[in-house]
Structure 1
Protein backbone atom coordinates (compact mmCIF):
# COMPACT_ATOMS: atom_id res chain seq x y z
CA UNK A 1 0.00 0.00 0.00
CA UNK A 2 1.24 3.47 -0.85
CA UNK A 3 -0.21 6.69 0.46
CA UNK A 4 -0.79 9.46 -2.04
CA UNK A 5 0.57 12.89 -1.07
CA UNK A 6 -0.22 16.11 -2.88
CA UNK A 7 2.91 18.23 -2.54
CA UNK A 8 3.65 21.83 -3.45
CA UNK A 9 6.97 21.13 -5.21
CA UNK A 10 7.50 17.61 -6.52
CA UNK A 11 11.26 17.91 -7.03
CA UNK A 12 11.83 19.31 -3.53
CA UNK A 13 9.69 16.55 -1.99
CA UNK A 14 11.43 13.81 -3.97
CA UNK A 15 14.81 15.07 -2.74
CA UNK A 16 13.61 15.31 0.88
CA UNK A 17 12.06 11.83 0.95
CA UNK A 18 15.26 10.45 -0.56
CA UNK A 19 17.93 12.39 1.31
CA UNK A 20 16.33 13.06 4.69
CA UNK A 21 13.89 10.15 5.08
CA UNK A 22 15.98 7.44 3.42
CA UNK A 23 13.42 6.48 0.78
CA UNK A 24 14.23 5.21 -2.68
CA UNK A 25 12.46 7.64 -5.01
CA UNK A 26 11.91 7.07 -8.70
CA UNK A 27 11.32 9.66 -11.42
CA UNK A 28 7.55 9.22 -11.07
CA UNK A 29 7.57 10.22 -7.39
CA UNK A 30 7.17 6.76 -5.86
CA UNK A 31 8.99 6.94 -2.53
CA UNK A 32 9.61 3.71 -0.61
CA UNK A 33 11.56 2.74 2.47
CA UNK A 34 12.20 -0.86 3.52
CA UNK A 35 12.81 -0.43 7.27
CA UNK A 36 10.44 0.60 8.63
CA UNK A 37 8.27 -0.14 5.62
CA UNK A 38 6.81 3.04 4.10
CA UNK A 39 5.38 3.85 0.70
CA UNK A 40 4.22 7.13 -0.82
CA UNK A 41 3.24 8.39 -4.23
CA UNK A 42 4.12 12.06 -4.47
CA UNK A 43 2.04 14.16 -6.86
CA UNK A 44 2.47 17.86 -7.40
CA UNK A 45 -0.71 19.73 -6.51
CA UNK A 46 -2.31 21.93 -9.11
CA UNK A 47 -2.96 24.61 -6.50
CA UNK A 48 -1.06 25.30 -3.26
CA UNK A 49 -4.28 25.20 -1.21
CA UNK A 50 -4.80 21.58 -2.35
CA UNK A 51 -1.91 20.56 -0.05
CA UNK A 52 -3.66 19.84 3.26
CA UNK A 53 -1.91 17.84 5.97
CA UNK A 54 -4.20 16.53 8.69
CA UNK A 55 -4.95 18.83 11.59
CA UNK A 56 -4.82 17.80 15.22
CA UNK A 57 -7.98 15.88 16.15
CA UNK A 58 -10.25 17.12 18.91
CA UNK A 59 -9.65 15.90 22.43
CA UNK A 60 -11.44 12.74 23.50
CA UNK A 61 -11.52 10.40 26.46
CA UNK A 62 -8.85 7.96 25.38
CA UNK A 63 -8.14 4.76 27.32
CA UNK A 64 -5.33 4.48 29.87
CA UNK A 65 -5.05 8.25 30.50
CA UNK A 66 -3.58 8.78 27.02
CA UNK A 67 -3.57 12.47 26.14
CA UNK A 68 -4.16 11.82 22.47
CA UNK A 69 -2.04 12.86 19.51
CA UNK A 70 0.34 15.78 20.01
CA UNK A 71 -0.42 17.12 16.53
CA UNK A 72 -2.08 16.20 13.29
CA UNK A 73 -0.76 12.90 11.93
CA UNK A 74 -0.67 11.90 8.29
CA UNK A 75 1.15 8.58 8.62
CA UNK A 76 1.78 6.32 11.60
CA UNK A 77 4.58 3.78 11.09
CA UNK A 78 5.34 1.00 13.55
CA UNK A 79 8.91 -0.09 14.12
CA UNK A 80 10.85 -2.26 16.55
CA UNK A 81 11.50 -1.10 20.11
CA UNK A 82 15.20 -1.89 19.74
CA UNK A 83 15.51 0.18 16.54
CA UNK A 84 13.46 3.29 17.23
CA UNK A 85 16.21 5.29 18.98
CA UNK A 86 18.64 4.63 16.13
CA UNK A 87 15.97 5.57 13.60
CA UNK A 88 15.50 8.96 15.26
CA UNK A 89 19.26 9.54 15.26
CA UNK A 90 19.48 8.54 11.59
CA UNK A 91 16.77 11.04 10.65
CA UNK A 92 18.41 13.73 12.75
CA UNK A 93 21.85 13.17 11.19
CA UNK A 94 20.32 13.14 7.69
CA UNK A 95 18.74 16.55 8.32
CA UNK A 96 15.08 15.52 8.63
CA UNK A 97 12.78 17.98 10.35
CA UNK A 98 11.98 16.52 13.78
CA UNK A 99 8.36 17.47 14.38
CA UNK A 100 8.52 16.26 17.98
CA UNK A 101 11.18 14.45 19.96
CA UNK A 102 10.98 10.94 21.40
CA UNK A 103 8.14 10.60 23.85
CA UNK A 104 7.93 7.68 26.32
CA UNK A 105 4.56 6.63 27.71
CA UNK A 106 3.81 4.11 30.43
CA UNK A 107 0.50 2.55 29.45
CA UNK A 108 0.32 0.25 32.47
CA UNK A 109 0.97 -3.11 30.82
CA UNK A 110 3.07 -1.66 28.00
CA UNK A 111 5.74 0.94 27.37
CA UNK A 112 5.37 3.00 24.20
CA UNK A 113 7.88 5.30 22.46
CA UNK A 114 7.26 7.55 19.52
CA UNK A 115 8.64 10.56 17.68
CA UNK A 116 7.60 12.43 14.55
CA UNK A 117 9.18 13.96 11.48
CA UNK A 118 7.61 16.34 9.01
CA UNK A 119 8.19 16.96 5.33
CA UNK A 120 8.45 20.26 3.41
CA UNK A 121 4.64 20.50 3.18
CA UNK A 122 4.17 19.83 6.91
CA UNK A 123 2.89 16.26 6.50
CA UNK A 124 3.67 14.49 9.79
CA UNK A 125 5.01 10.94 9.95
CA UNK A 126 5.02 9.37 13.43
CA UNK A 127 7.21 6.37 14.23
CA UNK A 128 6.17 4.31 17.24
CA UNK A 129 7.23 1.16 19.05
CA UNK A 130 5.95 -0.68 22.07
CA UNK A 131 6.97 -3.48 24.37
CA UNK A 132 5.24 -5.35 27.14
CA UNK A 133 6.48 -4.67 30.64
Structure 2
Protein backbone atom coordinates (compact mmCIF):
# COMPACT_ATOMS: atom_id res chain seq x y z
CA UNK A 1 0.00 0.00 0.00
CA UNK A 2 1.29 3.44 -0.90
CA UNK A 3 -0.20 6.66 0.38
CA UNK A 4 -0.57 9.57 -2.02
CA UNK A 5 0.98 12.88 -0.97
CA UNK A 6 0.19 16.08 -2.84
CA UNK A 7 3.25 18.26 -2.35
CA UNK A 8 4.01 21.90 -3.08
CA UNK A 9 7.47 21.26 -4.55
CA UNK A 10 8.00 17.75 -5.92
CA UNK A 11 11.79 18.01 -6.26
CA UNK A 12 12.22 19.43 -2.74
CA UNK A 13 10.01 16.67 -1.30
CA UNK A 14 11.89 13.94 -3.18
CA UNK A 15 15.19 15.26 -1.80
CA UNK A 16 13.80 15.42 1.75
CA UNK A 17 12.41 11.87 1.73
CA UNK A 18 15.64 10.56 0.23
CA UNK A 19 18.20 12.37 2.37
CA UNK A 20 16.41 13.11 5.65
CA UNK A 21 14.30 9.95 5.91
CA UNK A 22 16.55 7.47 4.09
CA UNK A 23 13.99 6.47 1.46
CA UNK A 24 14.53 5.22 -2.07
CA UNK A 25 12.86 7.44 -4.68
CA UNK A 26 12.28 6.67 -8.35
CA UNK A 27 11.68 9.12 -11.19
CA UNK A 28 7.91 8.81 -10.78
CA UNK A 29 7.96 10.00 -7.18
CA UNK A 30 7.51 6.56 -5.59
CA UNK A 31 9.02 6.65 -2.11
CA UNK A 32 9.99 3.44 -0.28
CA UNK A 33 11.73 2.54 2.93
CA UNK A 34 11.97 -1.00 4.29
CA UNK A 35 12.87 -0.57 7.97
CA UNK A 36 10.43 0.64 9.11
CA UNK A 37 8.22 0.02 6.09
CA UNK A 38 6.98 3.22 4.43
CA UNK A 39 5.45 3.77 1.01
CA UNK A 40 4.30 6.98 -0.63
CA UNK A 41 3.69 8.38 -4.06
CA UNK A 42 4.51 12.06 -4.28
CA UNK A 43 2.49 14.14 -6.74
CA UNK A 44 3.01 17.78 -7.56
CA UNK A 45 -0.06 19.70 -6.35
CA UNK A 46 -1.81 21.93 -8.86
CA UNK A 47 -2.25 24.64 -6.19
CA UNK A 48 -0.61 25.13 -2.80
CA UNK A 49 -4.04 25.04 -1.09
CA UNK A 50 -4.43 21.45 -2.33
CA UNK A 51 -1.67 20.36 0.08
CA UNK A 52 -3.69 19.47 3.19
CA UNK A 53 -2.06 17.43 5.98
CA UNK A 54 -4.43 15.97 8.56
CA UNK A 55 -5.47 18.17 11.45
CA UNK A 56 -5.52 17.08 15.08
CA UNK A 57 -8.54 14.81 15.66
CA UNK A 58 -11.26 15.51 18.20
CA UNK A 59 -10.53 14.13 21.65
CA UNK A 60 -12.79 11.28 22.77
CA UNK A 61 -12.62 8.83 25.68
CA UNK A 62 -9.96 6.21 24.85
CA UNK A 63 -9.15 2.96 26.66
CA UNK A 64 -6.59 2.90 29.45
CA UNK A 65 -6.93 6.64 30.14
CA UNK A 66 -5.01 7.55 26.99
CA UNK A 67 -5.41 11.25 26.25
CA UNK A 68 -5.51 10.68 22.51
CA UNK A 69 -3.34 12.05 19.75
CA UNK A 70 -1.45 15.21 20.63
CA UNK A 71 -1.15 16.31 17.00
CA UNK A 72 -2.47 15.68 13.54
CA UNK A 73 -0.87 12.70 11.85
CA UNK A 74 -0.81 11.46 8.28
CA UNK A 75 1.05 8.16 8.67
CA UNK A 76 1.80 5.82 11.56
CA UNK A 77 4.78 3.51 11.10
CA UNK A 78 5.43 0.69 13.56
CA UNK A 79 8.91 -0.61 14.21
CA UNK A 80 10.88 -2.59 16.79
CA UNK A 81 11.25 -1.30 20.34
CA UNK A 82 15.03 -1.70 20.21
CA UNK A 83 15.27 0.31 17.00
CA UNK A 84 13.38 3.43 18.07
CA UNK A 85 16.16 5.43 19.76
CA UNK A 86 18.61 4.81 16.93
CA UNK A 87 15.98 5.64 14.32
CA UNK A 88 15.29 9.01 15.94
CA UNK A 89 19.01 9.79 16.12
CA UNK A 90 19.49 8.75 12.50
CA UNK A 91 16.67 11.03 11.35
CA UNK A 92 18.02 13.90 13.45
CA UNK A 93 21.54 13.46 12.04
CA UNK A 94 20.21 13.33 8.48
CA UNK A 95 18.32 16.61 8.87
CA UNK A 96 14.74 15.38 9.37
CA UNK A 97 12.29 17.88 10.85
CA UNK A 98 11.48 16.48 14.30
CA UNK A 99 7.81 17.22 14.96
CA UNK A 100 8.03 15.94 18.51
CA UNK A 101 10.61 14.11 20.56
CA UNK A 102 10.37 10.59 21.94
CA UNK A 103 7.40 10.07 24.26
CA UNK A 104 7.07 7.12 26.65
CA UNK A 105 3.76 5.77 27.91
CA UNK A 106 2.84 3.08 30.38
CA UNK A 107 -0.32 1.43 29.10
CA UNK A 108 -0.67 -1.08 31.91
CA UNK A 109 0.44 -4.33 30.30
CA UNK A 110 2.40 -2.56 27.55
CA UNK A 111 5.13 0.05 27.40
CA UNK A 112 4.90 2.31 24.35
CA UNK A 113 7.20 4.90 22.82
CA UNK A 114 6.84 7.11 19.79
CA UNK A 115 8.20 10.19 18.07
CA UNK A 116 7.17 12.11 14.97
CA UNK A 117 8.83 13.74 11.98
CA UNK A 118 7.33 16.26 9.60
CA UNK A 119 8.02 16.82 5.92
CA UNK A 120 8.38 20.25 4.26
CA UNK A 121 4.62 20.41 3.53
CA UNK A 122 3.62 19.61 7.12
CA UNK A 123 2.74 15.92 6.68
CA UNK A 124 3.47 14.15 9.98
CA UNK A 125 4.82 10.61 10.23
CA UNK A 126 4.67 8.97 13.67
CA UNK A 127 7.03 6.12 14.49
CA UNK A 128 6.00 3.89 17.36
CA UNK A 129 6.84 0.65 19.13
CA UNK A 130 5.53 -1.29 22.07
CA UNK A 131 6.85 -3.99 24.31
CA UNK A 132 5.23 -6.17 26.94
CA UNK A 133 6.06 -5.49 30.54
CA UNK A 134 8.25 -8.21 31.97
CA UNK A 135 7.14 -9.69 35.32
CA UNK A 136 9.44 -8.88 38.24
- Whether TM exceeds 0.5 here: the answer is yes
Who is 1:38 aligned against? 38
Q: Whole-Å Cα distance in 2 between the matches of residues 54 and 20 of structure 1?
A: 21
Tell me how far apart the structure 2 counterparts of residues 65 and 103 of structure 1 sit (CA, whole Å). 16
* TM score, norm. by length of structure 2: 0.97
Structure 1: segments with no counterpart, 5+ residues: none
Q: Which runs of 4+ in 1 moved over 3 A?
A: none
Residue 41 of structure 1: how far off its partner (Å): 0.1
- 1:27 Cα deviation (Å)? 1.1
What TM-score do you get using the length of structure 1 for normalisation? 0.99
Q: Take 2:70 and 2:97, find their aligned partners in 1: how far apart are those partners?
A: 16
Aligned residues: CA RMSD: 0.4
Show CA shifts across 1:20-47 (max 9, x none). 0000011110010010010000000001
Gapped regions of structure 2 (runs ≥ 5): none
Using the TM superposition, give the Cα deviation of residue 58 of structure 1 relative to its aligned residue in structure 2, in angstroms.
Answer: 0.7
Q: Please say if 1:96 is aligned against 2:85.
A: no
